[in-house]
A and B are shown apart, each in its own frame.
Chain A
Amino acid sequence: MALIRKSKEFIWHRKHLLGLRELSAEEITYILDTAKGFEQISTRSVKKAPPLRGKVVVNLFFEDSTRTRNSFTLAASRLSADVIEFTEKTSSVSKGETLLDTARNLEAMGVDIVVIRHSAAGAPKFLSRNINACVVNAGDGYCEHPTQGLLDTYTIRKIKGTLQGLKVAIVGDISHSRVARSDMWAMTKLGAEVTFVGPPTLMPAEVRQLPVKVSYSLDEVIDKVDVVNMLRIQFERLGGNPFPSIREYSHYFGLTVERMKRAKPDILVMHPGPINRGLEMESEVADGRNSVILQQVTNGLAVRMAVLFLVNQAAAQAP
């Protein structure tokens, strides 16, 4: 028999989700708990519920995305919101002006929630200060990708039960990764020990000030961790020569079948997608029994529904 917890009087106050750095462990846990209630919407006969009926969500993506954009679109549709897809490639336009102009246009359309992805760190925050709608960050520069951090944490918590005491390795191009940063904030706040693993050329300059361990050798950590999150090598962001060759990178930092033999038998293998098969991860590992990559995608939907629901609740109840 399921025992009923006395519900704690927790109130969600944020009408924007800009990053995980500013959230408390309690707030993160609350989002994850809320997401649990949204999972079943996607498995039943009518895959829709009414809480955002009559609301308008705009997907404002200044950078390419398939997974995140589709996930937000589906999450919003499953909550009965109307979704506007807004794509704009910015190149030479000054970001401040463009965003303000865009913001004014959105206001005029009566949008309730703006989901924004932008190459400039801080763009979502800028937007949140200039419009009345709720703002959800879907990735800003190398700063944060909060819903990815939440869905990664959700996936681990769902399988392992807790983050407390777990060792998590995040491997690859840390310096260009907003996923690494959002993961780090969420996971360390919930009690995990996070290690950034990668070549020194792909470590952020400020890494020593972050609440993580650093390792330059995947072999050193692979047998000690409960979770390994392999980041994609983002060729579109890499300038210069961060590593001598793809083969060499793969040799030292790729998750190979050989390396997996030294890992804990119940290690979780994660990847934010899209995978460069054979580069950061061998196909056999990506499709292997420790891989939870597709569960991450499924859970992402529930987490994004929860986030859209919560920011809208906060806006509805604001005085």
Chain B
Amino acid sequence: MKVILDSKQIEKILKDLAGRIVTETPRQADIAAIGIRSRGEILAQRLSGQLSKMLGKDVPCGTLDITLYRDDLNSPQSAAQPQVRTTEIGFDIDDKIIILVDDVLYTGRSTRAAMDALIDLGRPRAIRLAVLVERAGREFPIQADYVGYRADVEPGKLVQVNLVESDGKDEVVIE
């Protein structure tokens, strides 16, 4: 197990990500953060807090459960049986710029599922992908708009993002 990011670094990365999002988003645009369950949910909450501070206005935050949109639901080889949980988005996503937040971008399959799930909820003006960690291994033509950290990880290794709210401490490790 190797720690690649500690809590200070994670905090700085999220601040930087928020800064870049603010710079690249038109002032008058409605913006909202939506995190993919479960680590993305927490990151989206932190990011929307930063964005609200920087923009001086409330940036709404929601949670997306992508289970029903996974592409491995009917495949016998899928490793674990996914549990369906709730999608909690208490605002209209129509015409908003949605910052879709996930912890790790790897195969791109979760992002594909998340985009399909979002589009069933409405028609956002744009969807932008923000991830804490990106690693090689894409299986779909998907790339992030905002990357916190590019990790050089051998295939087969696991990048585990731990966060205070769910795991007791902030850190990113390679297992």
Contacts and interface: CB of A to CB of B under 8 A. Distances in A.
Q: Do the two chains bind?
A: yes
A1 B68 contact: no
Interface string A44-79: 111011110010000000000000000000000001
B88 A2 contact: yes
Contacts of A38: 84
Contacts of A154: none
Contacts, number: 77
Given A4-B42, A316-B76, A319-B76, A50 B81 contact: no
B73 interface: yes
Interface stretch (B9-17, B23-31, B114-122, B131-139): B114-122
Nearest to A79: B68
Interface residues of A, number: 35
Given A49-B68, A49-B69, A50-B116, A2 B81 contact: no
A306 B74 contact: no
Contacts of A33: 83, 85
Given A36-B85, A39-B86, A51-B73, 7 more contacts: A3-B165, A33-B85, A34-B83, A34-B84, A37-B87, A48-B120, A317-B81
Interface of A: 1-4, 6-7, 9-12, 33-34, 36-41, 44-46, 48-51, 54, 79, 306, 309, 312-313, 316-319
Sort A-B residue pairs by CB-CB distance and give the 6 closest, nearest first. A37-B84, A46-B120, A4-B166, A49-B68, A316-B74, A51-B68
23 contacts: A2-B63, A3-B165, A4-B165, A33-B83, A34-B83, A36-B86, A37-B67, A37-B86, A37-B87, A38-B84, A41-B68, A44-B120, A44-B121, A45-B121, A46-B120, A46-B121, A48-B120, A49-B68, A50-B69, A51-B73, A54-B74, A317-B81, A318-B76
